Structure 1
């Protein structure tokens, strides 16, 4: 779970990158707002003129028609303004979601190790949605409210300055109180969004492991835990609601006090002859014009503060460093192959520690010759899978270097490096969608014949004929409609389709039965021709024919050789092989 949003994310200026692409629409909205504000300010004058015409007995029809025309025009302008505003707000939300998703997909893998997926999902959904209210109920309403209020103040001053003083004293106290409350709303809104993120993370955790939870009869315990997260979000939301509910009555009380003060003091001034009835009516109408936008502006300020709290959480993620992205020219750059004696992949005195300082690898030096099949074996936790992750640059070594064809991997654009490597992780997931979608992930231009060929290579053609949909058959969320072995073979087929020169296979046969293990071993044999393969395996039966077997223990290379050589020379390998009846 991440910490509290940083102060930099709360600055209103951080909104500008989201608003800049829509500045034309915003200027149009503000222009319409000014025109409709002018129309609203003209209405009391037209009422005053209509009353004068009615008492004078001439020009009433013209004055009344002009008043109705201005009212209708103001309503039409407001409708157009609201549509443009809503469209702009949706555009802001769309841009925020796109940029946030792009950032999330490019974060270093280590960031996902430290953060909860559900909280990140909440930022894409709930937090970005709050930006809509910043635009619709914040910026423009705040601006137009201030414009109308200032215009009303000027016109009230022209009618009767003493009445204006009474008005400003009554309203000023309410403005100060609401502003004080609204500043607190920003902080509490950020806390509330954090609580929603924690609840979303709890739901995501439970739904991902729903079969395990049911098998363990833990539904009630998990529901209680999610309920506690939901209760925390509820309490955080209530704290925001209490403050927001306080802000609105404060504003209303101030406005009502101003209206009552004006009516009382204004009646006394009419009685004394200082002002006439028409002037008082015009002043009261301007007061209403002043009160309504001021209340609107104060409420918009509170909404704006809540939106800034959500913006802080979005900006917290966007400020994280992402993996470097190369331009098209760099991606097309060929990988330097170098002399034939250089290994396809090399680890040079590599150390790697977890972020908490726990050592994983120490001084690992290993060459993977071109065209060789090299196997990594050893006890769990020896660092085998970590070597593959370092080759893919999911993590950077604490010390030492990883080289591809003699070139430091850090000097290559990630797209170039990963284009040379076909990586199949342990328990590789299937993406929700069809067989075709999963296969085309790494080779979007492949035709159906190529798809069927790689499926046949891993003994998965039966999936195509299982349903009438063929290659368009759905695999379910996370591949739930496939067996564990089918998911693993589908992942290998996906990599084979991309035809990279180096294959990195992490426990490719872990989920397979004996028959499919043998079929997959044959497929790996066939694709290993003219290709380098680095495979991690606990089941040694799949790697006994490897050109080189490397034994790791506690993050160090302790032996290397062929199966026969290691059975004689390595006690650890002999023990591992003996347990699997291979000696």
Structure 2
């Protein structure tokens, strides 16, 4: 099954769902903005009356006190409004990151295969940060700005219609600024894409720091990171160039309007058509008119930049999650007497990676196909075998034979292109993924350990496990020594990716984590690949104990670990070529005999 999602261009309406959770705070900000606008509009009128009373030699004390009160009140309200606005903006970023992180962790595994980790990190970090600027830079200012502009314009018309016409004529130049600001969105999206590429390059270099150091490739990798940084710099400069053009254009228009008003107004004061108080009030209203217009231009520019970032966020959110692309699952009871795991004529090919878009965006939103029979080279062909409950089945064969892929199909990281994979007699595609994976314990070939402590890693699969049980499972996999090294015990840190542990310790910790879940079926992808002979023997004993109550499906390169398996499935080039016990296969299958001979298991 393939699902294709068309890239949808975002607009202001796309922001509405993001703002909905903060509606009450934003409404409060809007009301305070209106109060600020009202207080701001009152100030020129009060100053006009003060000047007129001074000219008429009348007392101005009460008016001055009222003016000071209005100034202080506006300042207090404005400060409160800004705090609420900043808090709402931070809440918007938090809710967006929460939504995006939750979505990212539920994407089909294929999406992680085709995307760069750094680019995804950039969307959660840098792109969501730009949404803050959309709110704080003046989006809500527009509401109060409209009130101020309308109020100021009305008062200017009442004071002197002729000078208002002069003001409007001076504002024609703002059209050019708007045209420039419209180009910011596309440039912003490209700039964020370049930042994503740079983050990917840094993430790649840091995660492979030991390999790079050992290969003496620091200079080459630094050059690669710098190249990405230069591309991000160039995109940022293009963005800055546009913004630099907008600022002077708006400033020139505003200055021209002030000069025109002062010139015409001064002439009208000289002829007695206006009083000095009228001119001062008109100039102040002109200032109030221009200030929101300048803020609106800035808000529009920031909005275009934010929409560019929002486009990248929406591109990821548009990719269906695992659950979204599934047909409605049928909760079917296990079939009595059925094997634990069964493959029936299964064929599978990994999907081809999507083409990079012209805009440099690696979202892949144009091709969100699931990995159910991709267009690449088949890695499995007509695979059929079953794993009875309570038995141990080993998968052996040369590298690239498709052994690990079989485990991935059982876990439903991918769906078979042809044939069926069944667990407990039910097709895995007919089972809700949560129910399916609750039956499976899975240890990957690379046995990832998450940054944090030993305890946090163990509790990943069983968060309510007590300390006694944690220590017991560590002892079962011969890993007690890692909690005895320091006084921290189970709270000892393991480092980024488990770097403070040896390869064998990481492998055993991953197995201990899986055993804690108590799943009836264990999928182990070469569990002893990084163990020495002593620890391999200890781990084999632990697996033997676990298999008394569980079904094991094991991928093995070291045949010594599976010679006592109930059945061994031999794969070559994606096909099952033999099934039997170690003794049977050593006598009847040339490939297995060759593998066993190389490992000194047969002469």
Deviation at 1:530, TM superposition (A): 2.7
Q: For 1:112-160, what per-residue CA distance to the aligned partner results, in whole angstroms no more than 9, with x for missing partners? A: 0000000100111111111110000031123322321221111111111
Deviation at 1:401, TM superposition (A): 1.3
* Partner SS, residue 339 of structure 2: coil
Deviation at 1:80, TM superposition (A): 0.8
Deviation at 1:268, TM superposition (A): 1.9
Residue equivalent to 2:69: 69
Q: 1:497 to 1:334 in 2, by over 3 A?
A: farther
Residue equivalent to 1:396: 415
Deviation at 1:325, TM superposition (A): 7.7
User: What is the CA–CA distance in structure 2 between the aligned matches of 1:97 and 1:519, rounded to whole Å?
Assistant: 44
Q: For 1:64-85, what per-residue CA distance to the aligned partner results, in whole angstroms no more than 9, with x for missing partners? A: 1111111111111111110110
Which runs of structure 1 show a deviation greater than 6 angstroms over 4 or more consecutive aligned residues? none
User: What is the CA–CA distance in structure 2 between the aligned matches of 1:172 and 1:14, rounded to whole Å?
Assistant: 31
User: What is the CA–CA distance in structure 2 between the aligned matches of 1:6 and 1:130, rounded to whole Å?
Assistant: 24
Deviation at 1:352, TM superposition (A): 0.6
**Residue 337 of structure 1 pairs with residue 334 of structure 2:** yes
8 Å contact 1:335–1:416 — kept in the other structure? no
User: What is the CA–CA distance in structure 2 between the aligned matches of 1:320 and 1:66, rounded to whole Å?
Assistant: 58
User: What is the CA–CA distance in structure 1 between the aligned matches of 2:42 and 2:8, rounded to whole Å?
Assistant: 42
User: What is the CA–CA distance in structure 1 between the aligned matches of 2:254 and 2:6, rounded to whole Å?
Assistant: 36
User: What is the CA–CA distance in structure 2 between the aligned matches of 1:545 and 1:449, rounded to whole Å?
Assistant: 32
**Residue 158 of structure 1 pairs with residue 152 of structure 2:** no
Residue equivalent to 2:235: 236
User: What is the CA–CA distance in structure 2 between the aligned matches of 1:515 and 1:7, rounded to whole Å?
Assistant: 55
Deviation at 1:411, TM superposition (A): 1.3
8 Å contact 2:342–2:421 — kept in the other structure? yes
Q: For 1:81-119, what per-residue CA distance to the aligned partner results, in whole angstroms no more than 9, with x for missing partners? A: 101100100000000100000011101110000000001
8 Å contact 2:173–2:249 — kept in the other structure? no
User: What is the CA–CA distance in structure 2 between the aligned matches of 1:279 and 1:375, rounded to whole Å?
Assistant: 94
8 Å contact 1:89–1:135 — kept in the other structure? yes
8 Å contact 1:7–1:312 — kept in the other structure? no
Q: For 1:11-37, what per-residue CA distance to the aligned partner results, in whole angstroms no more than 9, with x for missing partners? A: 111111110011111111111111111
**Residue 10 of structure 1 pairs with residue 16 of structure 2:** no
Deviation at 1:289, TM superposition (A): 0.8
* Partner SS, residue 549 of structure 1: strand
8 Å contact 2:138–2:295 — kept in the other structure? no
User: What is the CA–CA distance in structure 2 between the aligned matches of 1:555 and 1:67, rounded to whole Å?
Assistant: 85
Residue equivalent to 2:108: 108
The one of 581, 586, 591 aligned to 1:562: 581
The 5 Å alignment of 1:532-547 reads 532-547=551-566
User: What is the CA–CA distance in structure 1 between the aligned matches of 2:44 and 2:188, rounded to whole Å?
Assistant: 39
The 5 Å alignment of 1:402-413 reads 402-413=421-432
* Partner SS, residue 216 of structure 2: coil
The 5 Å alignment of 1:406-425 reads 406-425=425-444
Deviation at 1:277, TM superposition (A): 2.1
Residue equivalent to 1:315: 314
Residue equivalent to 1:282: 281
Residue equivalent to 2:149: 149
The one of 427, 430, 433 aligned to 2:446: 427
Deviation at 1:274, TM superposition (A): 2.6
User: What is the CA–CA distance in structure 2 between the aligned matches of 1:161 and 1:428, rounded to whole Å?
Assistant: 78
8 Å contact 2:331–2:432 — kept in the other structure? no
Residue equivalent to 2:136: 136
User: What is the CA–CA distance in structure 1 between the aligned matches of 2:279 and 2:575, rounded to whole Å?
Assistant: 91
Q: For 1:471-522, what per-residue CA distance to the aligned partner results, in whole angstroms no more than 9, with x for missing partners? A: 1111111000000000000000111111110000001011111111111111
User: What is the CA–CA distance in structure 1 between the aligned matches of 2:501 and 2:382, rounded to whole Å?
Assistant: 40
Where does structure 1 lack aligned partners over 5 or more consecutive residues?
none
Residue equivalent to 1:30: 30
Residue equivalent to 1:349: 345
8 Å contact 1:382–1:553 — kept in the other structure? yes
Structural RMSD (CA) = 1.6
Deviation at 1:426, TM superposition (A): 0.3
Deviation at 1:359, TM superposition (A): 0.8
Residue equivalent to 2:299: 300
* Partner SS, residue 8 of structure 2: helix
The 5 Å alignment of 1:176-575 reads 176-324=175-323, 336-340=333-337, 342-356=338-352, 357-575=376-594
8 Å contact 2:451–2:495 — kept in the other structure? yes
User: What is the CA–CA distance in structure 2 between the aligned matches of 1:298 and 1:85, rounded to whole Å?
Assistant: 19
Deviation at 1:358, TM superposition (A): 1.4
Q: For 1:282-340, what per-residue CA distance to the aligned partner results, in whole angstroms no more than 9, with x for missing partners? A: 111100111112111111111111111111111111111101189xxx99x98723222
Q: Normalising by structure 2, report the TM-score.
A: 0.93
User: What is the CA–CA distance in structure 1 between the aligned matches of 2:189 and 2:143, rounded to whole Å?
Assistant: 24
Deviates more, 1:105-114 or 1:7-16: 7-16
* Partner SS, residue 152 of structure 2: helix
8 Å contact 2:451–2:494 — kept in the other structure? yes
The 5 Å alignment of 1:71-90 reads 71-90=71-90
Deviates more, 1:93-102 or 1:46-55: 46-55
User: What is the CA–CA distance in structure 2 between the aligned matches of 1:472 and 1:313, rounded to whole Å?
Assistant: 38
Q: For 1:330-365, what per-residue CA distance to the aligned partner results, in whole angstroms no more than 9, with x for missing partners? A: 99x98723222x111111111111112211111111
The 5 Å alignment of 1:49-60 reads 49-60=49-60
Deviation at 1:532, TM superposition (A): 0.6
Deviation at 1:429, TM superposition (A): 1.0
User: What is the CA–CA distance in structure 2 between the aligned matches of 1:138 and 1:105, rounded to whole Å?
Assistant: 33
User: What is the CA–CA distance in structure 2 between the aligned matches of 1:335 and 1:490, rounded to whole Å?
Assistant: 34
User: What is the CA–CA distance in structure 2 between the aligned matches of 1:146 and 1:254, rounded to whole Å?
Assistant: 19
User: What is the CA–CA distance in structure 2 between the aligned matches of 1:151 and 1:338, rounded to whole Å?
Assistant: 76
* Partner SS, residue 105 of structure 2: helix
Deviation at 1:413, TM superposition (A): 1.1
User: What is the CA–CA distance in structure 1 between the aligned matches of 2:538 and 2:570, rounded to whole Å?
Assistant: 25
* Partner SS, residue 10 of structure 1: coil
Number of residue equivalences? 573
